Amino acid sequence: MLGALKFFAALAACAAFLFFGEVFAQPLPRAVVQQRAARVDELFNWYYAAAYGTGVYRIGDETVGVLRAPFSYRLREAGDGQLGIRFTFPVSAALSEFDLTDFQFGHVRAAGLSIMPGIEVEVPLSERWMLKPFANAGPGWEFKRETSAMIYSAGVATVYRLPLGKGRRSSLGGKLTFAGYDAGGESSGLAALAGGGDYEFPIDMQIAGQQALLGMQLTGTVYFNRLEFLLPNSADRKVSAEMEFAVTLGVRKPTEFLGMGIDRVGLGFRRGSNGLKGLRLVGSFPF
């Protein structure tokens, strides 16, 4: 166990070095910077900050740290010819620093909070194949200038568990999402198609009395209409695609905590078009 913790600590240190080692700067006239800085509600991409998960991402000169708690309550298990129903209640807190030329911890320019209650229905198509329609909607608040937004997300996900032996397990997943936000004078909508794979295998280690599993995930997302970020100190950035590779350490039986089923923990390394970079805490297969 100690060896695994050292491994993940070293991995995190290397990732942080790579993540923060570059700065993408495109200077703009001072008047433009000041005008954009006064429009904090439009600098956020509210949906992306709410859906990203716990971690840090950077695009242009903007760095956003996100803390996300994916609370949920299962009303009914899927199986025996019946649908599964799960109420979701993700809460996301975002900390943003828009001026990296004068970055100071403790002097964060903007802080936001979003709450997106929703529902997910689990439709068993076979013993190994599940379809999951979902919908979420809720408010977001930016505290510095007391602005707000309405954020929404709806779509369908699917996951197929591959039959593997020798204690190994693997899954393939996909998701089609329609999402966006309305923040007063700024509205944004997008459609996204995501897909990926997950592979775990047993290792010679025990976690809480269970066989430990070392895993890898590779996921990718394509945006049909580009994900747009308006930044104060650089030109607008539009993201058309992103990929994430994650390394995880987990167990076979999930642990329930406040409605969340956690069966693994790991780090995801995200890269997208137009300079998007991210480092994210992974707690499950995202389909």
Closest C-alpha to 132, from 103, 174, 90: 174
- Check pLDDT > 50 for residue 219: yes
CATH number of 2-282: 2.40.128.130
Helix, strand, coil tally for the chain in percent (to 5): 15, 60, 25
Looking at residue 149, its pLDDT comes to: 87
Report yes or no: 97 and 233 within 8 Å, Cβ to Cβ. Answer: no
**Res. 175 pLDDT band, cuts 50 70 90:** very high
Closest C-alpha to 120, from 82, 173, 83: 83
Looking at residue 4, its pLDDT comes to: 42
- 273 forms beta bridges with none
**Res. 230 pLDDT band, cuts 50 70 90:** low
- 200 forms beta bridges with 169, 215
Report yes or no: 227 and 236 within 8 Å, Cβ to Cβ. Answer: no
Closest C-alpha to 163, from 195, 204, 129: 129
Report yes or no: 83 and 38 within 8 Å, Cβ to Cβ. Answer: no
Looking at residue 274, its pLDDT comes to: 86
- Check pLDDT > 80 for residue 45: no
Looking at residue 32, its pLDDT comes to: 41
Which range (95-109, 125-139, 232-246) has the least confidence? 95-109
Averaged pLDDT score across all residues of the chain: 78
The residues, any chain, with a CB within 8 Å of residue 97's CB and separated by 6 or more, are: 62, 63, 103, 107, 108, 109
Q: What single-letter amino acid sits at 116?
A: M
For residues 157-173, average pLDDT: 91
Tell me the pLDDT tens digit for each residue of 61-91.
777 888 898 888 889 988 877 899 999 999 9
- Check pLDDT > 80 for residue 28: no
Instruction: Please report, for the chain, the start and end positions of each structural domain, with discontinuous segments joined by +.
Output: 2-282
Q: How far apart are the first and last CA of the chain?
A: 28
Report yes or no: 244 and 270 within 8 Å, Cβ to Cβ. Answer: yes
Size of the chain, expressed as the number of residues it contains:
287
Report yes or no: 191 and 225 within 8 Å, Cβ to Cβ. Answer: yes
- Check pLDDT > 90 for residue 59: no
Of 267 and 97, the one with more pLDDT: 267
